[in-house]
Structure 1
């Protein structure tokens, strides 16, 4: 699955000042990714605030991204949840013809056992006509999908082709890389350790900062894939402060503040999230001026 090697970005959903979806901003955002060398786009992942979008808004966001993209980049659709039957129903009933894979988060809040996580993804994989990228993000789900569970799913289901690994644990990522089937992709879900994970044998990243600084972030990952360690880390250290800043007050408030500074979209988010503080906005602007 070479199309998911390199840098993917988890797109935000831009909002206007009145909190309605900003489709012009969404178009600018997609065009910016394509022009700056991003490899694929993730639609309605956590960064896109799908929990606060209505069903009709989600459909409109998908349609706008598909229309703007015009088949130029692979598209990954976020479909996940903590009700297995509901996730299976959504996978089965959604028109997936414009998408290349599904990104599905490990069930949150319920805190299932490893066997429960396995059985959840078994049901999703069986229902899906598309490849599935597992998503492990313990900081949001309150449970960690262990390497043995990920490897078990990878071995048992041909359409489970990758994991977005966002535990923030490089040792855990390395264990997955060591034990995985040959063609299974280990994709970083953590911008700060995306380069080390890539150098350890990973396949790249699904990034947040990548959509704000796509050219150099994607170049860094490409250099990592080519084993050009010194050049890659030079870019990493130039970018590191921006990664800290955009997550300082939560995601996607930080990245939306950065996108506002470069005239892609406003910094608006929907409750219960609030937009970045004036202090953080100033820090981001200072970084961009220096950068």
Structure 2
């Protein structure tokens, strides 16, 4: 099994200055904060990293910066997906993937392919990619579920190492867990479903909240992986109040506000997202202050 991507992966935000430029000082603080908090790997340019509104040049520079300012030399997973398969194959063949250990590739969105279309898309991408590929199923954003049968077909391909399951469907997760190859990774894509998915055989989480609260997230995940669900549950219960605020006005709006409360980065996001409202800021500030005492 690919143990590089077990435990807690943090879906890194891309910090911006008040003027909307990438804030590399804040990114350095974030890398150190999450590494010291015990995360196991970084995910760069996923949805939480606002990959849809960063330029090609910014993507390359952020990846370079993470690679060169990686305090614990953690593995790096890079977000790269799309709904134009030929263009995506061209992009992955031309990219400089030095220092990238795997690609997290979201299912095609908007054009609503069939399950066979999803299979052929991922098959072609996995054959073109020079590094291992993790599937990313998030039907709330793509409007198309990558079902268990298709995931299991893809799990047989040599360059596909796992799936980040953000469908919220625990029955589907159970179907994958019960039939997958032993070395195929089932990873939670929903912070609050980390424990249930681990209980089914999952190997960890790619987390949004771990940007702000890596220690608490690591406590929850490591204990669940050890089978100590009593301790893991207590960490989960501590996060219940904050979690809905993180997504109330969109991701990464909420988590950037939490990071601002911790002094790590500004709450700046790029349009069409806007910073958290004053009401949401108050709720996040109060909750983060309570969690700081136990994290």
Please tell me the TM-score bracket, short chain as reference.
Answer: over 0.9
Map 1:37-76; keep pairs closer than 5 Å: 37-69=38-70, 72-76=73-77
List per-residue Cα deviations over 1:49-108 (Å, max 9, x = no partner): 111111111111111111111661000011100000111111111111201100000000
Q: Number of paired residues? A: 290
Paired position in structure 2 for 1:30: 31
3-state DSSP of counterpart to 2:240: helix
TM-score scaled by structure 1? 0.98
**Structure 1 residue 235 corresponds to structure 2 residue 235:** yes
* Shift >2 Å, 4+ stretches: none
Post-superposition offset of 1:27: 0.8
Q: For residues 116 and 72 of structure 2, what CA distance do their matches in structure 1 show?
A: 38
SS in 2 for 1:69: coil
Q: Deviations over 1:239-268 (max 9, x none)?
A: 121211111111000000000000010000
Matched, 1:262 2:262: yes
Aligned to 1:111: 112
1:87 maps to 88
5 Å matches for 1:173-184?
A: 173-184=173-184
TM-score, reference length from structure 2? 0.97
Q: Which residue in the other structure is 2:283 paired with? A: 283
Question: Over aligned residues, Cα RMSD in angstroms?
Answer: 0.9
Q: Matches of 1:70 and 1:209 in 2, distance apart? A: 20
List gaps (5 residues or longer) in structure 2.
none
Q: Partners of 2:60 and 2:183 in 1: how far apart? A: 32
* In 1: Cα distance, 2:257 partner to 2:231 partner: 28
The Cα shift of 1:289 comes to 2.0
Q: Is the CA contact 1:79–1:90 (under 8 Å) kept in the aligned structure 2?
A: no
1:215 aligned onto 2:210: no
Separation in structure 2 between the aligned mates of residue 235 and residue 33 of structure 1, nearest angstrom = 17
Structure 1 SS opposite 2:154: helix
Match of 2:199 in 1: 199
Give the secondary-structure state (helix, strand or coil) at the position aligned to 1:56: helix
